Amino acid sequence: MPDLVGQKIAITGLTGQVAKPVATALAERNDVFGLARFSNPAVRAELEAAGVRCVTADLGGGDFGELPADIDYLIHMAVAKTMDWDADMAANVEGTGLLLHHCRQAKGVLHVSSTAVYHPDGHHRFAETDPLGDNHRVPAMSWMPTYSILKIAAEGAARTAARLFDIPTTIARLNVPYGHSGGWPLFQLAQVLADDPIAVHTDSPTLYNPIHDDDILRMIPGLLDVASTPATVVNWAGVEEAGIEDWCGYFGQLTGHDVSFLPTDDVLESVAVDTTRMVELVGPTQVSWHDGMRRLVEHFHPDLALRS
């Protein structure tokens, strides 16, 4: 993969789980501009201490503050999920188009989408050409009803802008990111440690392709390198499948807790994906889910004596 050194890079969503560690890592050898609302001064101070140039921005309003137009690369990770459809449409969809217009001189754009764009289909392993749909239309996801639909719509905005402004673009559909920055498995780890039952779909196992922070950071240069017009669309996920039942059971083994599951139709179904195209374009992930999940437990609970 190519490396990113001495580049002017804009990254959105700096206060989110994935974008923050990416920005601080890239800032070590690049000029990184981080866009967010920055309502928490402590987060802004932490990022600035790491060398990130923080830019207060309003994507929905098309206000990109002091972000220069001549950036080399844009990594768009921001997502609005306020439960207000109009506000979320403006930020996620209109904001994507307006931002790519502002950054139309860029050599490449990485637009981070989600595998939540796929229409639920049991244990089918989704390829990039499979039908899209409202994956989040279940009671457990009632707190983010706009997510799947507007992720699909934002992809449309990115694809249009890529062609309209001739910006090489990669649309990467991310599947269960986790690591030292947290992630969905961290919440389930808390349930395991509290001896609470873990909700899983009745059509078990509830399969995904979790991807560790280390692989996310390592693969970004390659994903930018394969950006094209029209946009390149690719699943961004671990090459290993693992079910919620698998990693929660592993948490139990490591910590000595008995793990119980609560089968229900009111949670997300499996979203396992085909990583063939990803491997062809940028290679496989390197962190196994067992290693990554163990490292997650060690990072957040260093006081625990883990079992082998």
Is residue 43 included in any domain, yes or no? yes
Number of domains the chain is built from: 1
Q: In the prediction, which pLDDT does 1 show?
A: 52
**Predicted TM-score (pTM) of this structure:** 0.96
Q: Residue 41 falls within a domain, yes or no?
A: yes
Residue 141's pLDDT band, with cuts at 50, 70 and 90, is confident
> Is residue 156 domain-resident?
yes
Q: Write down the pLDDT at residue 120.
A: 93
pLDDT at residue 195 greater than cutoff 80: yes
Residue 188 inside a domain? The answer is no
Query: Is residue 160's pLDDT more than 90?
Result: yes
Query: What domain range includes position 236?
Result: 8-182+209-241+272-286
The predicted-structure confidence for 227-280, as pLDDT tens digits, reads as follows: 999 999 999 999 999 999 999 999 999 999 999 999 999 999 999 999 999 999
What whole-number distance in Å separates Cα of residue 307 and Cα of residue 3? 38
* Structure confidence at residue 2 as a pLDDT band (50, 70, 90): low
pLDDT per residue over 8-57, tens digit each? 999 999 888 899 999 999 999 999 999 998 888 998 999 999 999 999 99
Could you read off the pLDDT of 29-41 as tens digits, one per residue? 999 999 998 888 9
Q: Measure the CA–CA gap between 224 and 169, rounded to whole angstroms.
A: 7
Domain assignment present for residue 147? The answer is: yes
pLDDT tens for residues 85-137?
A: 999 999 999 999 999 999 999 999 999 999 999 999 999 999 999 999 999 88
Find the CATH number of the domain harbouring 150. 3.40.50.720
Answer whether residue 250 is part of any domain: no
